[in-house]
Amino acid sequence: MPRTVRDVVFVDGVRTPFGKAGPKGIYNETRADDLVVKAIRELLRRNPDLDPKKIDEVAIAATTQIGDQGLTLGRTAGILAGLPQSVPGYSIDRMCAGALTAVTAVAGGVAFGAYDVALAGGVEHMGRHPMGEGVDPNPRFVSEKLVDESALFMGMTAENLHDRYPTITKLRADEYAVRSQEKAAKAYADGKIQQDLVPISVRNTSEAAGETGWGLVTTDEPMRPGTTLENLANLKTPFRTHGRVTAGNAAGLNDGATAAIIASEDFARENNLTVKMRLVSYSFAGVEPEVMGYGPIPATEKALAQAGLTIDDIGLFEVNEAFAVQVLAFLEHYGIADDDARVNQYGGAIAFGHPLASSGVRLMTQLARQFEEQPHVRYGLTTMCVGFGMGATVIWENPNFNAEGDSK
């Protein structure tokens, strides 16, 4: 018999503070799966009316699925978090768009009627598992010239994108990076970020400051408030001599986890769960792997077409800042100013960090907060570039929308 597609909603999302990868990072002695467990448990604590027995699926993404990021994380993290053994789970890999894909995957199940409510998120512990650990790229990629060799190195793809957009100079990228740090610092000062952070107990929280033992992580470690153009001007360009991509205008190597509750709108309202965003459309697209930062553009074109919208209908943008040039290319394509107030209002990955597979849900939690504060905005989108030449976009509707600007 024919099935009716159901409305899908974003109920809630949380994340751990993001840390710097490496031996001096806050999560150096913390397991990746334990970060996911903390996020899941916090979701359940914040939503006491959600009966864990009713959860139909747990989808958790990780790019490097080995060690403490292996063993079918959705299932194992669910058990470790105390979910009933009747709740299934699985793992996902779409590199940077892992958590975003986890959300869209379970959303499809909700829309179809296979699920009523599911958990979706991602984790990346780049300190324990550096990007590319254990991979063995097929030599045909290069020998048969299926892709340019630079496609295997994300920083090189960002330099290639600068080549494609010669008007996006290093100065513009640095100016964008400074604004990201400034907006993130302001968001923290205004209490916009802390609401969705899960405090994490860690060992050796501040080795650089001479402190050891146990401590509580409550803020993002990668942030550099007070960053100036002068600070960024002379940074090394490691991917190309006299290049434009630096550690200052790109996201770093980071650790962190995210998780979200995705449900049918009927289930959410019947179970007294908050509806923070309503899913409108989503799309993925492929581009030349050597300019993977271009991916959000065709993905957004597809998602807008599916929704019957234009870019002018979008009132808020959460664009993942893997590299400043990648965001600027997106904005330039659509004729949006570098400093447009609708874009990344709380700052982005250049400031907070980008633990690969976890970042998609961070974009969503930040957009949900902005929807709550701005009921005059009807539509927003979350978008990101993806390694090896892809882009991913999700368009959301604000359930608080009121054309007069007053919350319902």
The residues that are catalytic are 96, 354, 385
**116: how many CB neighbours lie within 10 A of its CB?**
19
134 touches 25 (CB < 8 A): no
User: In sequence order, what E strands does 49-190 have?
Assistant: 57-61, 89-92, 117-125
CB-count burial class (<10 Å; 0-12, 13-18, 19+) for 356: buried
Please tell me the number of Cα atoms within 13 Å of 155 on its side-chain side: 18
Looking at the DSSP bridge assignments, the partners of residue 124 are 256
Q: CA-to-CA distance for 171 and 174, rounded, in angstroms? A: 5
Helix 324-333 vs helix 170-189: crossing angle, to nearest 10: 100
d(CA 368, CA 213): 36
Place of tokens 């959600």: 50
Sequence-ordered list of residues with C-beta below 8 angstroms from that of 131, at least 6 positions apart, any chain:
63, 64, 154, 253, 356
Helices (H) and strands (E) in the chain, counts: 12, 12
Residue 27, amino acid: Y
Residue corresponding to tokens 């105390």: 82
CB neighbours of residue 278 within 10 Å: 18
Q: Are residues 15 and 346 in contact, defined by beta-carbon separation less than 8 angstroms?
A: no
292, 320 in Cβ contact below 8 A? no
**DSSP secondary structure letter of residue 356:** G
Burial grade of 289 (CB within 10 A; 0-12, 13-18, 19 or more): buried
Q: List Cα–Cα distances, 269 to 179, 264, 374, 390, in angstroms.
A: 38, 9, 22, 35
d(Cα 273, Cα 119) in Å, to the nearest integer? 14
Residue 176, SS3? helix
